[in-house]
A and B are shown apart, each in its own frame.
Chain A
Amino acid sequence: MTTVDEVVGAVPAPVVIDHRPWWRSRAVLSALVVVGMLVGYYAAKGKYTWPAALEWNSLTGHLDSFQIWLSDQSNAAHPNLFFRVVTGISSGLDTLVTWIYDALTKLTWVGTSFVATLFAWRFGGRRAAVFMFTGLATFAAFGLWDDSMQTLSLVLAAVGLSLAVGLPLGIIAGRSERFDRAITPVLDAMQIIPAFAYLMPVVILFSVGPGAAVITTMIYSVPPAVRIASLGIRGVPANTVEAAQALGSTGRQLLLKVQLPLSRRMLLLAVNQTILFALSMVVIAGLIGGSGLGDPVTNGLNTNPAVAILAGAAIVAMAIMLDRVTEAIAERTDPTRRHLDDAGRRRLRVTTAGVVVACLVAVGVGIAAHAGDIYTRFTIQDWLLARIQSVLNYIANPSTFLFQHITNPLGNFLTQHVLLPLDTFLAETPWFVTVAGFVLIAFIVSGLRPALVTAAMLALTGFVGEWQPAMDTASQVLVATAIAVLLGIVLGVWAAESDRVSQILRPINDILQTLPQLVYVIPFVYLFPISYVPGLIASVLYAFPVVVRLVERGVRDVAPQSVEAAGAFGATRRQVLLKVKIPLARDAIMLGVNQGIIMVLAVVVIAGLASTPGLGYEVVQGLQRNEFGLGVVASIAILALGIALDRVTRGTQGNRRAREDVS
């Protein structure tokens, strides 16, 4: 999945690179701070852990009683008006999803496939039709047609509602600076707080079933709609807006005739991203009755992991299908690119009529021939499961070369020489030295305000009693980000230099960003049988594609004049790359680091499920052992840690302003 920043385009390279003496560069100053922290560590190892006097221990208890109270109210014999309204909303949503599912099945599988494929063909062209058909054929071949249709109906309902809520909010945010500033922290919280933490309140209010699943999905998929729509409106050139205003446009005219049409591409991108974000919640939605592909993933993990992997692959197929189809429709229907003459229009009308007739015929044939609501005929499921199982058997076998000589030693090395030392360092350095270190680095890298925010956020993690697990998590996040950034920079630069590499990387990125991590994190336990490592690798796999995309964009966007000038002076390709392109793309790379951290944090909870101690584990425990308070508190700490690390790596105000100008 792409992030908002990527969507906007990478940071433009500054025209002039500031030349500070090397000993005043940010890297050197930050390194000095780390040295200072090391001194603190050796001077007072483990002596000053976060003091209990600065903890608010009763918070979890209050939260627990709140949940019990909420449940008692909701299950009372005569619930009050609020709960009746909420129940009404959830049954309305249940009905909506059920209705879509009924429509998809009552058309029969033949009808549904034809209608979807022809629709894609009419509005998106041949490529879109091929993707749509291949996607549907995949669900059929996997023997997961019914699950896929359930997931599709859930995703369609959630996306429709997310857009209905998100686009208007985004448009307001795009037109009002104050509203934008007010809503941004809310959006951050919605995206960083793990769904596990609010699953229980959602279930108490909205019960289980598709309705609750839609609500949970929306909490995650509304933010991208708002953000991208807002960026789109802001992206309309200021002089165009001024010209329209000078010609006497009213606010309404300005919006409808200038801002909306000109931000069309971004608005369609918002649709596309909302779909992908909604799809990434399928597994979580399954835990509260969302049904669909999430169920075989969760249950397969315990009874038959091959089934979980197959269902994960179906989720990826659906993501790629919906992504490419919406992208193609956005391109094809772009009025600025399409210039139809009268004959062309007539042809198009005939095509439309033909498509409608073909759809009706297909549905009619499907019903008349009793094709069945869902596809249950020939599948290659058993064959695929056997293949997947043989790969799993290889992975689970500790006598293979792969395990003996590659993964096991690598895992041991990472744990003993990287993760554990860093964890010990962060946990045993006096807490005030750790806080001071992070704050100073934030000040050096990002400036005064971010430094103050960092201080407040780190204090918050300690205050809610999560200092120790937060340091565990921080060490994992830092290592995972370092690996993801390294990998991302190498691959990103390579992809920027070679179109073929770029082409190969794109589907890999898509797969890694939409495949539910739960599916592959357990096989990793076999390969790297040490706590910490499987979760670490899952985070790296999820985060590095974003870094690749940002770095590739950044290096590709380096002004061609600079490259030509260097070439004219006789620089070799290698020199151009190392001395011109990479330094000029520095800010894009920095942005990659920043986004990498956020992505890694998004996997913290899944990592907790696969053997990684820290905040993620506590959030899981919160849901599974009914320790609501603990889960919420750990989530607050994740959010605080996320904001702190974001500010530390965000870069200076100047960079940020440059980024905002681009949008």
Chain B
Amino acid sequence: MKVGFKKSHIRLGVVAVALAAVGVLVATNVATARTGSGCGTVTLNEQAWAGSTANTYVAKYVLEKSLGCKVKITQIAEIPVYEALAHAKVDAVLEDWQHVDQYKQYATKQKSVVIEGSNGVHGHIFWGIPDYLMKQYPQFKTWKGLKGKESIFKSPESGSQGMFLGGDPSYVQKDAQLIQALGLNFKFVSVGAESAQTARWTQLVKQKKPVLFYWYTPQYLNAQYHIVEVQLPKPFKGCKDDAKAGGAVAQYKCAYSTYPLEKVFGSKFAKSGSPAVAFLKKFSWTNDQQNTVATWIAGQHMKPDSAAEKWVKANQAQVNKWLGK
């Protein structure tokens, strides 16, 4: 046993020498590492939907090619990213879907993030049905036409009621409240993440079956599937969109309003005076433009960097405007 221990000491010594040698190599290599350019590193956060990927990579392309910045892309979830912005670990989020609570907490109270205004894209949430169903039942143009016809939306888990396919739990929604306020005989079925919801309704659409679901624009799938809107009661003053706010169901009895999607910067970045800030402040495009790039990425599986390059090259005039040229 004793001898064995000694031997293992020798062996350890050899390993230690090897490690030391490697360490020296690493150290010399680190010392010669390249230094960054004038703009420095900008960290953008990409959210988990295709439109956000489109914004982020187009901005990245312009930042790198025209301003010489180094761009780092993180993929932090929607709510934790506010802490990341506050801690200056992330510089900017280019598309935020109205997280009003966070605006209050981080922008107004803590002043650790800055809401920089819209990225030009407008988000709209609605109740969608496939166009073939609308042709078959023109009465579904408004919610009133759904009354009494709920059972055609039956599914295995909804029993005798019709199924209303709810949206991703992370999105703003009030559908359970709406169903109750409108007195419709639907069972609200939550299906989890957006990819799960998409899988569910596309499967039904491919079979030309009836389906009624939470949907929104801009969304790249709208180019592939023809989803039409069921009109809900007109918005009135004080009508709420986010069930999180609580209160009586009558307060939710209206269509979702249309939101401008916001750009959010970390305060430190916003004050940094970097040329990247001026550019990102001006960055703004339309729903159609974003959809085009999103479709290239998510619909045709183009690499995000190549999709961004393709779009920027075709829209140089607009990019120049962003750059203040």
Interface residues of A (CB under 8 A from B): 68, 71-72, 74-76, 102-103, 106-107, 115, 199-200, 203-204, 207-209, 286-289, 291, 295, 298-299, 301-306, 335, 345, 348-349, 352-353, 355-356, 359-360, 363, 367, 385, 389, 396-399, 411-412, 415-416, 420, 521-523, 525-526, 529-532, 534-535, 608-613, 617, 620-621, 623-627
Contacts and interface: CB of A to CB of B under 8 A. Distances in A.
Contacts of B101: 626
A298 B156 contact: no
Contact of B170 (A102, A203, A363, A624): A624
Contact of B83 (A208, A399, A608, A609): A208
A153 to B, nearest CB: 13
B201 to A, nearest CB: 9
Contacts of A610: 192-193, 196
A68 B108 CA distance: 13
Contact of B14 (A306, A352, A612): A352
Contact of B190 (A299, A420, A531): A531
A621 B48 contact: no
B94 to A, nearest CB: 15
A104 to B, nearest CB: 10
B155 interface: yes
A71 B297 CA distance: 36
B199 interface: yes
A580 to B, nearest CB: 44
A263 to B, nearest CB: 16
Interface in B160-206: 168-170, 189-197, 199-200, 202-204, 206
Contacts of A530: 155-157
Question: Which are the 5 A-B pairs with shortest beta-carbon distances?
Answer: A624-B170, A525-B199, A611-B191, A208-B84, A207-B87
Contacts of B11: 348-349, 352
B193 A609 contact: yes
21 contacts: A200-B83, A203-B83, A208-B87, A287-B77, A287-B80, A306-B301, A352-B11, A356-B17, A359-B22, A522-B193, A525-B200, A532-B157, A609-B193, A611-B190, A617-B169, A623-B79, A624-B79, A624-B169, A626-B99, A626-B101, A627-B244
Contacts of B49: 302
A75 B266 CA distance: 12
B52 to A, nearest CB: 9
Nearest to A367: B29
A99 B48 CA distance: 29
B90 A208 contact: yes
Contacts of A74: 83
Given A415-B156, A530-B156, A613-B190, 4 more contacts: A75-B110, A107-B25, A204-B83, A298-B75
A406 to B, nearest CB: 15
Most buried by A among B26, B77, B168, B190: B77
Contact of B30 (A102, A367, A523): A102
B5 to A, nearest CB: 10
Contacts of A299: 46, 48, 53, 75
B199 A203 contact: no
A68 B4 CA distance: 58
Nearest to B78: A624
B195 A625 contact: no
Interface of B: 4, 7, 10-11, 14-15, 17-18, 21-22, 25-26, 29-30, 46, 48-50, 53, 74-81, 83-84, 86-87, 89-90, 99, 101-102, 105-106, 109-110, 112, 155-157, 159, 168-170, 189-197, 199-200, 202-204, 206-207, 244, 297-298, 301
Most buried by A among B76, B80, B84, B206: B80
Given A287-B76, A295-B75, A302-B194, A359 B18 contact: yes
Contact of A303 (B53, B77, B80, B99): B53
Nearest to B203: A529
Nearest to A294: B75
A355 B14 CA distance: 10
A609 B192 contact: yes
A285 to B, nearest CB: 11
A289 B195 CA distance: 22
Contacts of A397: 206
A623 B77 contact: yes
Contact of B110 (A72, A286, A389): A72
Nearest to A355: B18
A289 B79 contact: no
A313 to B, nearest CB: 17
B296 to A, nearest CB: 11
A71 B14 contact: no
B44 to A, nearest CB: 13
Contacts of A535: 192
A579 B202 CA distance: 51
B215 to A, nearest CB: 15
Most buried by B among A295, A303, A420: A303
A523 B77 CA distance: 22
Contacts of A627: 244
Given A531-B189, A617-B169, A288 B76 contact: yes
A627 B84 CA distance: 18
A289 B90 CA distance: 10
Contact of B80 (A203, A356, A389): A203
A530 B102 CA distance: 34
A626 B75 contact: no
Contact of B157 (A200, A203, A295, A415): A415
Contacts of B46: 299
Nearest to A122: B15
A353 B84 contact: no
Contacts of A302: 48-50, 194-195, 298
Given A103-B26, A303-B297, A530-B156, A625 B169 contact: yes
B76 A611 contact: no
Given A525-B200, A617-B192, A626-B101, A71 B169 contact: no
A208 B48 contact: no
B110 A356 contact: no
A575 to B, nearest CB: 43
Contacts of A609: 192-193, 196
Contacts of A411: 156
Given A75-B110, A208-B76, A345-B7, A356 B21 contact: yes
Nearest to B112: A75
A115 B232 CA distance: 65
A396 B75 CA distance: 27
A587 B261 CA distance: 59
A72 B109 contact: yes
A111 to B, nearest CB: 8
Contacts of B195: 301-302, 305, 522, 525
